[in-house]
Each structure stands twice: as C-alpha cells, then as structure tokens.
C-alpha cells in the first residue's frame, strides 16, 4: 500500500515552478484517439487548429459559495464560446452538497454531464468506480506550456497511478479576519482563546466540519491515518477537539455552514473565521480594505495543517463527447482564462507561472505552505461521516473528545476492514 503520511507542501512547487513529470502510466485509448487542442495564451483555438464544434454539458457548484466564483466561471465559459462559435455549452449549477452524489448516480447509469468542475473530494471513490475518464496520457501536456500545471496538483489528482482530472486551482482554508476589529491576526491557539468571543468556526453536519477541522489536528500533533491506512487519531486529535470545545465555552461562535459565518463577519458580529478562497471575491467586495487572510492557529504540536487540494475538471467516463470535453477543459485552464479566476475569484492557480498579486490570495498561498496534500487513499472515504459526527457530539453535546475519537476510529477501521 502507498505510504499515507501526508508530507507538508512546498510553496515553490505549488506556486513558483512547474515541476518534473512523475512516472509514465497506461494511456487511455479514448484520450489518445484525438490529440488535445492546441491552446495559446489567449484561450482560443490556435490559428492552425480547428475550432471546437458540438455540444457539451458541464456541472459546477459555484452558486453555493457566492457570486464571485460563478461570475468568473461564466466569463471564462463565454470566452471559450466566443473563440469557438460552433460550440454549445450547457451549464448547470448544482448545489455543492448534492454535486457528487448526483454525478455518481447519473454517471453510473450512463448519463450525467460530459464533465464537471469541483474539488477532488470524491475523486478517489469515483475513479475506482470507473466513473471518470483516465487522463494519464495528458500528463506531459498539462505539465508543459501553456498550462504549466504543478506536480503537486497532478499528484493530488492521481489515483492508483492514473490521472483523473485536469487541475485548475489549489485550495486550503485559512483565517479571514477584519483588520478594523483585529489589528493583528491571532497566530496561536492561545491567541485564539484570548480572542474567542470575536471568532467563529464552521463545524457543520454530514462530514463538512471534518474538512474545516483537519488543520487543527496537526496543530496538536495529530493525524488521522497511519502508513497502513488504520485510524491513528488517538494522539493529538482528542486534544484538538477539546480545544474546540474549550473555545466554545470561551465564546467562539460555531456555525453549521460557512455562508452564515460569512454573513456574521460582514455584519461585524465576528471578526474572523476559517474558510477558503472561494469566499475571497465576495468578502473583498463587502469589506474593501478591511479584510485580510492569515494561517489558522499554530498549536503546541505544530502549524495549522489544512487539507490542500486541487479543484479540477472531471470527464465523465460514459460521455459520448469525452474528447470535446477534454479540449474544452484545456481551453478553460489556458493562462488568460485562468488568470480571470485568480484575479476575480481568488483562486490559487495550479499553473505555477501565473501571477498572484492580491494580498488576500497570497495569504492563502502562505497557508498552503503548511498544508497536507489531500490523500487519495480509499480509507479516507470513511473519515468524513464518522469524524463529522464526533465533532457535532463534542460541540453540541459537550461529549468527551477522547471517547468520541475512539468511537469514530473504531467505526472507520471497521468500515475499512482494518
């Protein structure tokens, strides 16, 4: 089994350079049937290449995170359509909490979109269920100009040695804070306790909170999986959950979803909370000159270590238009088009040559330095629900953190046959 200890990311590999290719893998026959379109920096078809023609359907969930990401996405789609007058693109906005289940249900029956864009939350499960197109033959193309996709992003979208997505951006959570209420961002878990009444945390149900909590485990020296895939959360993770419990007692506000936390930050009810760059565009518009980003709390066990993972374009394995969908996705990640996501929606590009000028975006780039590359180990599938329930029990019912972690680990290992 592959080693499951998650190495901290190196910022240069993510943001400044285009890394070398990892080993070759089996080429997908369908992907090799038609070579990728040549895409110049403008994002349109190159002068010598045929323009794209036909109809594709793409799903996205940007409506769930506010207007900035959706507006940027729609602008990029419009650019590609303008460059390819014979191309029809049907876009469906799917609520994020329904996106993966909806895709899996429909793709398993041979229907669904030609492609969708999302984080790699369900990538391992969908790849192993043969729902996604094997894109391994595109690896060298994506790592070369004009795409310059980082090795970190490629690895995070690789399952069992095969590439299953075209990476678009990298994401991790960090602290959004109001500079008119906090002159300096709280840097440590003790600083957070001092400012508890001014801060918020998303702990949500159905496993969502287990994503936001991931970074605090490392701050207390904890981790979820050992090298064999067995749950290893007995050390550090209970201390992290106890800290969250203590923070609630000290006055920190807890939220079922991040949009409620964002609304309270904008209204001034809280001065900061942990969230991702998908909120940057809206917060910069709502709080011009009053919003900044810093890493989450450093604790006695080390840095805040959020999951760092790519958003990417996933091609439906049952699509009759797979080659067209691949070429469309390549044009979506062309430098000029991706720069729109960077400048207008706060995305941290998977393309290591693009410029990230905005200080808020650079705040996330800093947070990603201590992040863990999101693993594609199949055992992680049984983390979300079990540890999401543990969080809810600890926060809502003041349950004992050690007992809840023990219960979550046992359920996780049982499900994983460990």
Tens-place pLDDT, residues 239-278 = 999 999 999 999 999 999 999 999 999 999 999 999 998 8
Is the pLDDT at 27 greater than 90? The verdict is no
CB atoms within 10 A of CB 140: 10
CA neighbours closer than 13 Å in the CB half-sphere of residue 344? 17
DSSP state of 15: I
pLDDT one-digit tens code per residue, 187-212: 999 999 999 999 999 998 655 799 99
pLDDT band, residue 44 (cuts 50/70/90):
low
| Alpha carbons 380 and 410: distance in angstroms, whole number | 14
Q: What is the DSSP string of 100-144?
A: HHHHHHHHHTT-S-SEEEEESTTHHHHHHTT-B---GGGHHHHHS
Rounded-to-integer distance, Cα 168 and Cα 166, Å: 6
- Indicate the range of 36-40, 109-113, 159-163, 407-411 predicted with least confidence: 36-40
306 vs 159: CA distance, rounded Å:
21
Q: Tell me how far apart the alpha carbons of residues 281 and 190 are, in angstroms, rounded to a whole number.
A: 30
Beta-sheet pairing, 54-60 with 87-93? parallel
d(CA 98, CA 108): 15
> Rounded CA gap, 298 and 29, in Å?
47
In this structure, of 76-85, 130-139, 223-232, 328-337, the range with the lowest mean pLDDT score is 223-232
Q: Which range is least confidently modeled, 7-16, 139-148, 250-259? A: 7-16
What does 157-215 look like in DSSP terms, one character per residue?
Answer: TEETTEE--EEEEEE--EEEEETTT-SS---BHHHHHHTGGGEEEE--STTHHHHHHHH
Average pLDDT over residues 284-291: 95
Using an 8 Å Cβ cutoff, are 272 and 199 in contact? yes
- For residue 204, the model assigns a pLDDT of 80
**pLDDT at residue 393 is higher than 80:** yes
Report the residue count for the chain: 418
Residue 32 backbone zone (phi > 0: left; psi -120 to 50: alpha; other: beta)? alpha
Q: Which ranges of 15-92 does DSSP label H, i.e. alpha helix? A: 29-33, 67-83
Q: What b-and-e string marks burial along 371-409, b requiring 16 or more CB atoms within 10 Å of the CB?
A: bbbbbbbbbbebbbbbbbbbbbbbbeeebbbeebbbbbb
Task: For residue 34, give the DSSP letter.
Answer: S
CA 263, CA 286: separation in Å to the nearest integer?
10
Phi, psi of 26 (to 5 degrees): -60, 135
What does residue 311 show for φ and ψ, rounded to 5 degrees?
A: -80, 150
Residues sharing a CB contact under 8 Å with residue 3, sequence separation 6 or more, in sequence order? 227
Region 34-44: mean pLDDT is 42
Classify residue 36 by its DSSP letter: P
* pLDDT averaged over every residue in the chain: 87
Averaging pLDDT over each range in 355-359, 361-365, 376-380, 411-415, which range is the top one? 411-415
What are the backbone dihedrals phi and psi of residue 369, each rounded to the nearest 5 degrees, phi first?
-55, -35
| CB 333 within 8 Å of CB 351 | yes
Which of these ranges, 65-74, 267-276, 380-389, has the smallest mean pLDDT? 65-74
Question: Of 94, 87, 97, 29, which Cα lies nearest the Cα of 56?
Answer: 87
Percent above pLDDT 90 for the chain: 72
Which secondary-structure segment (H or E) carries 311? strand 307-315
Q: What is the pLDDT of residue 206?
A: 57
CA distance 295 to 10: 15
User: Range with the lowest mean pLDDT among 15-19, 147-151, 375-379, 386-390?
Assistant: 15-19
Q: What is the CA radius of gyration of the chain?
A: 21
Residue 82: pLDDT band with limits 50, 70, 90: very high
Confidence band for 281, pLDDT divided at 50, 70 and 90: confident
pLDDT at 2 over 70: no
């Amino acid at each position: 089994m592959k080693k499951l200890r998650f190495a901290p990311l190196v910022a240069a590999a993510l943001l400044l350079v285009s890394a070398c290719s990892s080993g070759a893998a089996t080429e997908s026959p369908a992907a090799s049937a038609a070579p990728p379109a040549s895409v110049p920096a403008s994002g349109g078809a190159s002068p010598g290449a045929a323009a794209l023609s036909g109809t594709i359907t793409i799903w996205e969930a940007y409506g769930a995170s506010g207007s900035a990401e959706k507006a940027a996405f729609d602008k990029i789609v419009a650019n590609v359509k303008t460059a390819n007058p014979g191309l029809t693109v049907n876009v469906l906005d799917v609520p994020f909490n329904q996106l993966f289940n909806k895709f899996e249900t429909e793709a398993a029956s041979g229907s669904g979109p030609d492609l969708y864009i999302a984080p790699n939350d369900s990538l391992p499960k969908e790849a192993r269920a043969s729902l996604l197109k094997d894109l391994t033959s595109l690896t060298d193309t994506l790592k070369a100009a004009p795409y310059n996709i980082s090795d970190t992003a490629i690895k995070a979208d690789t399952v069992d040695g095969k590439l299953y997505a075209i990476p678009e951006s990298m994401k991790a959570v960090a602290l959004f804070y109001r500079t008119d209420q906090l002159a300096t961002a709280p840097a440590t878990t003790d600083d957070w306790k001092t400012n508890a009444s001014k801060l918020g945390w998303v702990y949500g149900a159905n496993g969502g909170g287990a994503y936001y909590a991931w970074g605090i485990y490392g701050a207390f020296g904890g981790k979820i999986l050992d090298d064999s895939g067995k749950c290893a959360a007995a050390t550090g993770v209970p201390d992290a959950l106890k800290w969250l419990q203590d923070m609630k007692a000290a006055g920190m506000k807890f939220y079922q979803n991040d949009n409620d936390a964002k609304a309270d930050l904008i209204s001034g009810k809280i001065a900061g909370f942990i969230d991702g760059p998908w909120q940057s565009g809206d917060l910069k518009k709502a709080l011009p000159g009053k919003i900044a980003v810093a890493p989450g709390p450093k604790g006695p066990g080390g840095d805040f270590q959020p999951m760092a993972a790519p958003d990417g374009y996933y091609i439906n394995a049952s699509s009759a238009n797979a080659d067209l969908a691949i070429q469309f996705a390549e044009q979506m990640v062309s430098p000029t088009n991706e720069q729109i996501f960077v400048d207008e929606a706060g995305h941290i590009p998977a393309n290591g040559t693009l410029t990230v000028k905005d200080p808020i975006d650079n705040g996330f780039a800093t947070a990603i330095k201590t992040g863990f590359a999101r693993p594609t180990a199949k055992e992680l599938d049984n983390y979300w629900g079990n540890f999401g329930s543990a969080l809810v029990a600890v926060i809502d019912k003041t349950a004992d953190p050690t007992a809840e972690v023990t219960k979550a680990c046992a359920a996780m290992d049982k499900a994983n046959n460990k």
